[in-house]
Amino acid sequence: MIRALLRFVLGCLLLPGLWVTAHAQAVSFPELNTAVPGHADTTYLDLARMIVPDLKADGEGFYAGTTPIEMRHILGDDQGGSPPPTVSLPNAAVLTVNAGGKQRLAMLFDLGQAQDSAEGFAALALYDLDGKPRLLDAVDVATDQSTYFREPAKLRIGPGDDAIITMSMHFNSNQNYVGTVLIVVRKDRFEPIDAIYTFDEKLCAYKRTQDMTFEALAGDPSHAPLKVTVTDTAASSGESCDEAPPEPSSHEVSVTYRWDAARSRYAGDSDAFEKLAAENAKRF
């Protein structure tokens, strides 16, 4: 239970400039025992039980369960960690999205981390709420220990379609590791666009941050190009330290993803983010 509470607190408090705006605009955290709007006889707990069938209130304000249903990892079968033997949820993140001209409900459940796994396990679920609610798809979107919707949680890419953006992270006293996943919904199934990995560090003499922005560009009216930009900034801390700070710097790394009709998927116009991840790995 303490672990679940920690994940919830981190989601609310860490990097407030990154998450608070996104949650205020799009993501909600309803109590699981409340009714889904328009479905007085269905609660968010009923939807959650489509992911963790034995989920139930534990009497202390949380919801406990065991093994989730089988699901693939969004980035492929060779990716991802294992779910923990037991899960404990305070709530779930809820996001309304457009997919194929229809309104769908997405819910993100951070289920925690198995003891022998370096990554967490986070289920992103897609529901059809027209008529009796039903689960359409579910994938593990965790690329690190704790997983959330990022800002913006969704981005309009067509008149009836949104892209979804999630992020996973872990941190220590002076380093922050973040993996961001761009996702589309096609035929009521989640499909990946890309995973982007960034790395922040704060040392005595300086801090280096890699902030990310997202933009849907004009162009294809049904599949808008998506431009993602990472601004890599190094700045002196102003502290007296044994090491000399680097020269202040700031540069942008951008990739634009365009719809490839022949392959029926979005494709990036460069490998700049792969190179960035390789450069960051040298600093770990």
Under the banding of pLDDT at 50, 70 and 90, the label for residue 2 is very low
Q: In percent, how much of the chain has pLDDT > 70?
A: 91
Cα 154 to chain centroid distance, Å, stands at 10
Percent helix, strand, coil in the chain, to 5, is 15, 50, 40
**pLDDT-derived band at 171, boundaries 50, 70, 90:** confident
Residue type, 242: D
Q: Residues 51-95: pLDDT tens digits? A: 999 999 998 889 999 999 999 999 997 787 788 999 999 888 999
Domain boundaries, position 249: 2-281
Instruction: Please count the structural domains in the chain.
Output: 1
* pTM of model > 0.85: yes
Rounded CA-CA distance 121/140 in Å is 6
Q: Which of 10-19, 104-113, 231-240, 244-253 has the highest mean pLDDT?
A: 104-113
Whole-angstrom Cα distance, residue 256 to residue 225? 7
Q: Are 187 and 161 in contact (CB under 8 A)?
A: no
